[in-house]
Structure 1
Amino acid sequence: MPGSSAAFKPLHRLWRRLPPGSRRLWLARLSSALAPAPDRAAPRTCDGIIVAGEIARASGLGESARIMSRALEALQVRAWPMQAALTVPGETLEPIAAPTTTPSATAALVLHVNAPVLGSALLRLPRGLPRGRRMIGYWAWELQAVPPSWRPAGRLVHEVWVPSRFTAQAIEPLLPGRVRVVPHALALAPPCPARMDRAAFGLPEQAVLVLVSFSLASAFERKNPLAAIAAFRKAFGKRCDRILVLKVGHAAHYAQDMQRLREAADGAPNIHLETRMLTAAETHALTRLSDIVLSLHRSEGFGLVPAEAMMLGRAVVATDWSATTEFLDAQCGMPIGYRLVPARDPRGISEAEGAVWAEADTDQAARALAVLADAPERRAALGDAAQRAAATRFGGDGLRQALTAIGCSPRTPA
């Protein structure tokens, strides 16, 4: 009706004037109230896992869902993938095979979406799906505390799995005794790079490549690519045998952030922007083709980029703060010092009362880059050590224990 559209516009303008945090809180409350709640008591056993959420998206939670699906297959646990999250118009979606069977009536439902949008995700699934199932949220968070918009989702899950101790410490006060650390089982579901060479990315064969890989949908300030650019330029200036590759996801949707990146690069001939929406296999190919992977993040709830780089045998330079410290140390990477500062995110996403995050030491990072660039033997040795450490640290013990705890015992192939 023509009149209804006109009447809606003032309400929409009023809604847009609310601070982002307030909008997220009210959306979380409304969707959580409308979403179907699970049974009061979770089943003691389950027959398989429904892996739902952002499983088709080019996002950290999407990749975590795909990793879990592959790991469950390796453990011979029945699994059913299910997309249940918002997508961004025009984004590349990962090909997900449709399940050939109907999920078991007692299969646990593991939702790889964060708490503020859990209710919305459940509303995209069949209404009766939670009935008779153990409901598990798989959440990742990057600060020491969670904002109020996370609280309403507590009624929608029996328990929460998280990828790191760092995230667990933030969420435990919200759901006491209901949080379990289940790191990504990358050794059971290793990255599978596409068969591509440097020419496919327009990159020179002989130069030392430093890769910084991130999505603009995952908070520009937290990923902190400007620090990476600063460290690279301090280390190499405009040397054309040293190339910085900025692999930027969702670039088309964040024009202001892209402008900041271009201004920081200042037309440097040795800084390459890769803004195509790559598949996971293409992204892994770019990682494998790089010599050094650099992550001067301010905070990580896990750190899939450094972790997958370690799995692929790359030398990793990363901020020595938050969840990456649980798997990257001086024996298998080059941790970079930092100072803690209040967490401030202009988008209002990565913020919580009293939270701090790290400002990496770009001078130390520049020295680390220079050392590794000039020493191919040291890069190779560090990459080998990283691969060995990753095979142990991402071996799937946490997932096996979690499955056993919910009565879904895995069977590892002989």
Structure 2
Amino acid sequence: MPAAHGTLRETPARIRVVGLLSSASGLGRSARLCIRQLADYGWEFSTRDVSDLYATGDDVAYARGHRDLPATVSIFHLNAPMLLPGIIKAGLSSYYRSYNIAYWAWELEYLPGDWIDAMRFVDAFMVPSTFCRRTIERYTTKPVLTVPHPIQLEMDKVLSPKPGDQVFRVLSIFNLGSSFERKNPLAVIRAFRSAFGNDAGAELTLKTSQGKRYPQDLAIIKQEIARGGNIKVIDEIWTDEQLCGLYRSSDVYISLHRSEGFGLTIAEAILMEVPVIATGWSGNTDFCSADTLSVVPYDLIAFADNDPAYHGVSDALWAEPSIVAAVHELQKVRSDMSASTARARAAKAEFLSYLGRHTYASALNDLGRRNGL
């Protein structure tokens, strides 16, 4: 298949979004957030769901837009190994008529060979963070624009008030299909246990998904938490409203990830005004300030992960967050919830300002200017 050679002959107005639109995965959510913002900004759009190619469909609803709309620009929310099959499935005729953009999220500072090879199939890239942009720019002279996920979790979606009991609730959310080692849930469990032991006044909830597809990883978590009665795991696909309620019922959100392309659940917690504890490295650092969040220090260590997504990656580094520091931050949040809540509100204000400066609309307009329109 020849390399992409699209040009923007007019200001982008009609957008086609291709991706795992009905999937509960991070890729699926990324595409749906894109669609929602395009609609909010009044852009005409069409959609093409290719979840069936990868058996990832979860019947998640999404806005379908204008059917058969001839697109000026196509945005493919598909990582590199999925890109060419997705292009073909979505229709080559539309591909050849479009200026084609890949929205890529990647969690390391180096790309595997198949990602580098796939770069030729698009004209430009959008990425969710500065961390991702710097990685992609190592390998291409094509435009690379930072467009953070336009999260829209509104407080009024929460149907129930925050529990009035005295239990200190800690929350961590992750998809088991997004690399067990990278998400590093065992560190969260060990930090919580070191901070609070079996104290019935503290509770950790691990909200996971795709446990049926990754039963061994789910079993490791369940084995790790078996010794205590104040840690629970919920492995289900939930609606936005249910997740909003879960965030709102929590006193702190914790992510001891080794690397993030963006940090979607961290961002969601911030928007729900939940105090956040997070590793201070990778994509989330665009919106995780030590002034408003509990940023966990780390050591950079040699990357090691058998997840197939990272096949061919060598000499990379990622973070090993300090469990000792995480324990201190958990105890600090619990000891002064008033101060922690005030910081959480400040973090939300900063994040909303950041999102407002980096939108799909501004990125598309930027591409138009680069092409002399």
TM-score (norm. length: structure 2): 0.91
- 1:141 offset after TM fit, Å? 0.1
Q: Distance in 2 between matches of 1:348 and 1:116?
A: 11
Question: In the superposition, relative to structure 1, how do residues 236 and 198 fare at CA in structure 2: closer, same or farther (>3 Å)?
Answer: farther
Residue in 2 that maps onto 1:393: 354
Q: Distance in 1 between matches of 2:177 and 2:184?
A: 13
Q: How does 1:370-409 map to 2 (within 5 A)?
A: 370-407=331-368
Could you tell me which of 79, 103, 118 is aligned with 1:153? 118
Greater CA drift, 311-320 or 73-82: 73-82
Q: Distance in 2 between matches of 1:192 and 1:86?
A: 33
Check conservation: 2:158, 2:244, Cα contact below 8 A.
Answer: no
Residue in 1 that maps onto 2:88: 123
Structure 1, unmatched stretches of 5+, are 1-32, 409-414
Q: Distance in 1 between matches of 2:189 and 2:156?
A: 26
Q: Which amino acid aligns with 2:248?
A: R
Residue in 2 that maps onto 1:307: 267
Residue in 2 that maps onto 1:54: 20
Greater CA drift, 120-129 or 364-373: 120-129
Question: In the superposition, relative to structure 1, how do residues 92 and 60 fare at CA in structure 2: closer, same or farther (>3 Å)?
Answer: same
Q: How does 1:3-402 map to 2 (within 5 A)?
A: 33=1, 38-86=4-52, 92-103=58-69, 105-186=70-151, 189-190=152-153, 194-197=157-160, 205-350=165-310, 352-402=313-363
- 1:209 offset after TM fit, Å? 1.1
Check conservation: 2:280, 2:296, Cα contact below 8 A.
Answer: yes
Q: For residues 269-297 of structure 1, what are the alpha-carbon distances to aligned partners after superposition, in whole Å with 9 as ceiling and x for unaligned?
A: 10011111223332233122211110000
Work out the number of aligned pairs and report it.
Answer: 368
Q: Distance in 2 between matches of 1:198 and 1:341?
A: 42
- 1:401 offset after TM fit, Å? 2.6
- 1:144 offset after TM fit, Å? 0.3
Q: Distance in 2 between matches of 1:63 and 1:169?
A: 23
- 1:40 offset after TM fit, Å? 4.8
Q: Distance in 1 between matches of 2:209 and 2:18?
A: 22
Structure 2, unmatched stretches of 5+, are none
Greater CA drift, 302-311 or 172-181: 172-181
Q: Which amino acid aligns with 2:354?
A: R
Q: For residues 3-35 of structure 1, what are the alpha-carbon distances to aligned partners after superposition, in whole Å with 9 as ceiling and x for unaligned?
A: xxxxxxxxxxxxxxxxxxxxxxxxxxxxxx4xx
Check conservation: 1:91, 1:250, Cα contact below 8 A.
Answer: no
- 1:62 offset after TM fit, Å? 1.5
Q: Distance in 2 between matches of 1:233 and 1:185?
A: 34
- 1:194 offset after TM fit, Å? 5.0
- 1:196 offset after TM fit, Å? 4.9
Greater CA drift, 267-276 or 220-229: 267-276
Q: Distance in 1 between matches of 2:274 and 2:310?
A: 28
Check conservation: 1:58, 1:94, Cα contact below 8 A.
Answer: yes
Q: Distance in 1 between matches of 2:156 and 2:224?
A: 30
Check conservation: 2:169, 2:205, Cα contact below 8 A.
Answer: yes
Greater CA drift, 339-348 or 217-226: 339-348
Q: Which amino acid aligns with 1:47?
A: A
Greater Rg, structure 1 or structure 2?
A: 1
Check conservation: 1:193, 1:283, Cα contact below 8 A.
Answer: no
SS in structure 1 at match of 2:106:
coil
Q: For residues 244-303 of structure 1, what are the alpha-carbon distances to aligned partners after superposition, in whole Å with 9 as ceiling and x for unaligned?
A: 000011011112111211222133110011111223332233122211110000000110
Check conservation: 1:81, 1:96, Cα contact below 8 A.
Answer: no
Question: In the superposition, relative to structure 1, how do residues 91 and 138 fare at CA in structure 2: closer, same or farther (>3 Å)?
Answer: closer
Check conservation: 1:191, 1:281, Cα contact below 8 A.
Answer: no
- 1:198 offset after TM fit, Å? 8.5
Q: Which amino acid aligns with 1:136?
A: I
Provide the identity percentage.
31
Q: Which amino acid aligns with 2:68?
A: T
Q: Distance in 2 between matches of 1:360 and 1:179?
A: 29
Q: Which amino acid aligns with 1:342?
A: A
Aligned residues: CA RMSD: 2.3
Question: In the superposition, relative to structure 1, how do residues 116 and 108 fare at CA in structure 2: closer, same or farther (>3 Å)?
Answer: same
SS in structure 1 at match of 2:245:
helix
SS in structure 1 at match of 2:43:
coil
Q: Distance in 2 between matches of 1:173 and 1:90?
A: 31
- 1:146 offset after TM fit, Å? 0.6
Question: In the superposition, relative to structure 1, how do residues 300 and 193 fare at CA in structure 2: closer, same or farther (>3 Å)?
Answer: farther
- 1:396 offset after TM fit, Å? 4.5
Q: Distance in 1 between matches of 2:142 and 2:88?
A: 27
- 1:155 offset after TM fit, Å? 2.1
Q: Distance in 1 between matches of 2:19 and 2:131?
A: 22
Q: Distance in 1 between matches of 2:367 and 2:209?
A: 36
- 1:195 offset after TM fit, Å? 4.3
Q: Which amino acid aligns with 2:61?
A: P
SS in structure 2 at match of 1:358:
strand
